[in-house]
Structure 1
């Protein structure tokens, strides 16, 4: 029996963005030869509310059946359509505790979760992204609805602010094999302190785009990235930059760049 090279854990809220997250995850899995485990967790209080015991039991049973059916349908569909090994599971309880249990038991190489959505429940949101970054030291893919990855097709890969942790690893070599060239590098600089050339040929096969540091830099960069059909942007895992540097923190990048991000290992 074939053993996949990597393991991807997908954290899903089973909301409207589930298909995008799964498609991006499947695309990555096909690139790096990985299996996928989809995991969903919901708080008990969101299921039973303030109902009496009998109603609470009935609500839990119904939620078990509905959740299992929803997950099985998605998992089986993607496994069949894209010939990828994928399974699904779920839990009811404290969200962060259940996620941590899943990370410890499955031991993934990559975790995939969705971007913050102010209108959604907090399974996928600022709190969970921060929690996963703290507890998990491997690669983290934060999936966006825009310019999604397409299974079995080469993607356009970008690099943000000279991200270096991604390269020179076996994982990066597997990803780059499925990437269109040239790679695209995006930098935000203070032109008074740095060379102001806007496009620079770099090795190997990389084109660099440079943006002036100002209050709208990330917004401008986000629009430029979308127009250039970048599917995935590599970002170093740093809450880097103090207020004195003026450079964007990882939190700002996650919140303001509307593109799927691949955050480096710790």
Structure 2
């Protein structure tokens, strides 16, 4: 019998906020009936410190065992707590190449990533997130390190610059129906723009912001005031030029403290 469940891929560095990120993936999996797979990859230079082939092989084997145990320790409590079987894999190599190959091999329906801290962003940038958004056409979930979602969290969803039909992709309507509070619709417009009436799945509370240098900071304040914990963000495509472009999405990732569900750059409509 064919497996018709969706597939969620979590890309993790196994650092501080890994459990929070996986909880977000588990929460999403419960909403859309999906399997969860965790993938962790390291650069060879982070593992092998010697030119000796024997020493290098020993280091690689040790790292495989260490990472396998670390992954097991991380996901075992979540498997038990939420009655879900989270699969996992580990690789050593060029991080971006390994991720790209794994995505091609597993064909996930959505990828889940964590947010870097503001300090880390200033130092090195969020290169993996940029890479995934550039190379992967499907939806990307950016899990907030604080105020994230888990299976016990009551969803309070916001829509950014998008009409409801633009969010009616594949499983996204299932997510929208899980909120028990009115949707919040946030629209950013130019000073001369006319605000079009936003058609939503249910009655929404609408907010309009004039586009300027402080808009994203103001939006972040309103998201916090309205207790929004999941913001749907449309990526620009050929059919929806009013959606958010790459620089706007990057600014959101860097500056708002809620989880983001960034839609696919190629829309796959629900049936």
- TM class by shorter-chain length? 0.7 to 0.9
For the Cα contact (< 8 Å) 2:163–2:199, is it kept in 1? no
CA displacement, residues 3-53 of structure 1 (integer Å, 9 cap, x when unaligned):
462100000000001011111111111111110000000000011135544
- Which residue of structure 1 aligns with residue 212 of structure 2? 214
Work out the CA distance in 1 between the residues paired with 2:143 and 2:73. 21
CA separation of 1:40/1:69 partners in 2, compared to 1, >3 Å: closer, same or farther?
same
CA separation of 1:186/1:205 partners in 2, compared to 1, >3 Å: closer, same or farther?
same
How many matched pairs?
Answer: 260
- Which residue of structure 2 aligns with residue 43 of structure 1? 43
TM-score by length of 1: 0.85
For the Cα contact (< 8 Å) 2:164–2:201, is it kept in 1? no
Work out the CA distance in 1 between the residues paired with 2:81 and 2:201. 37
Where structure 2 has 5 or more consecutive residues not aligned to the other structure, the ranges are: 266-271
- Which residue of structure 2 aligns with residue 102 of structure 1? 102
- Which residue of structure 2 aligns with residue 237 of structure 1? 235
Q: Tell me, what secondary structure is at the counterpart of 2:158?
A: strand
CA separation of 1:193/1:129 partners in 2, compared to 1, >3 Å: closer, same or farther?
same
CA separation of 1:179/1:94 partners in 2, compared to 1, >3 Å: closer, same or farther?
same
For the Cα contact (< 8 Å) 1:218–1:256, is it kept in 2? yes
CA displacement, residues 67-111 of structure 1 (integer Å, 9 cap, x when unaligned):
000111222221111012311111000111111111111111000
For the Cα contact (< 8 Å) 1:164–1:236, is it kept in 2? no
Work out the CA distance in 1 between the residues paired with 2:139 and 2:218. 26
Give the 5 Å matches for 1:26-37.
26-37=26-37
Give the 5 Å matches for 1:184-195.
184-194=184-194
TM-score by length of 2: 0.84
- Which residue of structure 2 aligns with residue 77 of structure 1? 77
Work out the CA distance in 2 between the residues paired with 1:100 and 1:215. 34
CA separation of 1:11/1:166 partners in 2, compared to 1, >3 Å: closer, same or farther?
farther
Where structure 1 has 5 or more consecutive residues not aligned to the other structure, the ranges are: none
Residue 259 of structure 1: CA displacement? 1.6
